[in-house]
Amino acid sequence: MKMKMSKQKPPADNLYLQIWRNPIFKELLLAQITADQWHTFTALAVFMNKKGECYPSQSKLKQLLGLSSVASSVSRRIASLEKACFEGEPLIKVFRKKKDKVKGKFLFASNGYQLNQNIITIFAPHDTIIIRRQQQLEDLNANKAKLANSLHINASRKDDKQTRRSF
């Protein structure tokens, strides 16, 4: 089954996470934090802007993390992650918005998070990288087609006039 490759440019919101190697490899960050903290940290990172800020709802975080409860699971993980540090700096800083009361009911606002950019950042591929990658894929497909054609045995060959001896 052949997979059809799209030649479309990735959407503008298709950003990439860049995890810095030294905090993990040299500073042993993963040995200092729990798997749940790393899991939550990377889930927050997919919402991050260039400044390392993000504003996902706890409901969306619950969904991404596959958790059962916003109140206990997500809130507990955020609080745990907020306490975790790397080189004296927290992995995340939380900016809590005050709950507003409208007509006797509380309205909940999303918290804001600042991720430690010494660990993880985002970047978008430059247009020339996308164009170069598309050209590489086109060249690869052309070479595959050329190879397939050269391996194809035609009914008539140049040496058909010669007979082959069978032993």
Return the CATH fold of 16-123. Answer: Arc Repressor Mutant, subunit A (1.10.10)
* Cα dihedral sign, 40-130-5-141: negative
Q: How many whole angstroms separate alpha carbon 109 and alpha carbon 55?
A: 10
pTM here? 0.63
Amino acid symbol at 80: S
User: Whose structure tokens read 């609080």?
Assistant: 79
Residue-range domain boundaries for the chain:
16-123
Highest mean pLDDT among 36-40, 72-76, 146-150: 36-40
Q: What are the tens digits of pLDDT across the range 53-108?
A: 999 988 899 999 999 888 778 989 999 999 999 889 999 999 987 766 667 666 66
Residue 4's nearest CA partner among 141, 104, 153 is 141
* Cα dihedral sign, 9-10-13-14: negative
The first and second tokens of residue 149, run together, are 């054609």
The first and second tokens of residue 111, run together, are 């918290």
